[in-house]
Amino acid sequence: MTKSEYLNELKAHDWTYEYASGQSYYKGRDNAQRLKAIADTAPELAALYSAYSAFVWSGSDEPTVTESTRTNATARAVMVDAWDTARRAAKRYGHPAKDFIAQALRQAWAKVKAARLTSYSSNRRASVVYTVCIDERLNRNTKLRDQLAVEAYFSDYSAAQAARALLAQAFTKPFIKTESTCFA
């Protein structure tokens, strides 16, 4: 169970079940025991349980759960990109698109991870821009015109090398292209 799901269950729980009588008391007691048992399975859930209990009974701040960096919008964009790549490969090689989806997903996530590396190098303005380029084809017989750049530009060569190393896991031959900036 994730922390956000557990927090939703804590919010839905009747914390004043002890003041009820009859069936409401027994339902609340059973649900409280279930929530405590779930909290015992993981320390972060136990901390969330105690924080929400303090919120209900002591009036402290309501606990919140921060979402991970992988949002649904990112996952959706990755799936759209992966299926587009798989369809292009299917059209080119004559097989169904589902035969290419595994490699296309690896490539799409590698693009996202490489784009996230730009936050490390975007702090300073440099006179040289490094662009990491990749090939979108699934074989090694590619030409320079068939290769695309990841939509991330690096001002630091070490960050560009890290992005190239990351993309090398999914693509055949990523390379770094150097350009002078027009705004330097």
Residue 128 CA: distances (Å) to CA of 24, 118, 161: 69, 14, 14
Mean per-residue pLDDT of the chain: 75
In a domain, 111, yes or no: yes
Q: Are residues 15 and 78 in the same domain?
A: no
pLDDT recorded at residue 138: 46
In a domain, 19, yes or no: yes
Mean pLDDT on 32-61: 89
Angle between helices 3-12 and 23-39 (to 10 degrees): 160
Domain range for residue 49? Answer: 3-58
- Domain-ending residue, one of 19, 35, 58: 58
Q: Are residues 93 and 167 in the same domain?
A: yes
Q: Are residues 50 and 84 in the same domain?
A: no
In a domain, 66, yes or no: no
Mean pLDDT on 10-38: 90
Q: Are residues 12 and 78 in the same domain?
A: no
Pair of tokens at residue 10 = 């804590």
Q: Are residues 54 and 121 in the same domain?
A: no
Which tens digits make up the pLDDT trace of 136-145? 554 555 444 4
Q: Are residues 32 and 107 in the same domain?
A: no
- Please, are residues 151 and 163 in contact by the beta-carbon 8 Å criterion? no
Q: Select the more confidently predicted residue: 99 or 148.
A: 99
- Please, are residues 56 and 16 in contact by the beta-carbon 8 Å criterion? no
Q: Are residues 100 and 168 in the same domain?
A: yes
Q: Are residues 26 and 92 in the same domain?
A: no
Most confident by average pLDDT, 7-11, 128-132, 140-144, 149-153? 7-11
Give dist(CA 162, CA 177) in Å, integer.
Answer: 14
Backbone angles phi, psi at 15, to 5 degrees: -75, -15
Check whether 79 has a pLDDT greater than 60: yes
Check whether 69 has a pLDDT greater than 60: no
pLDDT recorded at residue 178: 60
pTM above 0.85, yes or no: no
Q: Are residues 147 and 82 in the same domain?
A: yes
pLDDT recorded at residue 181: 41
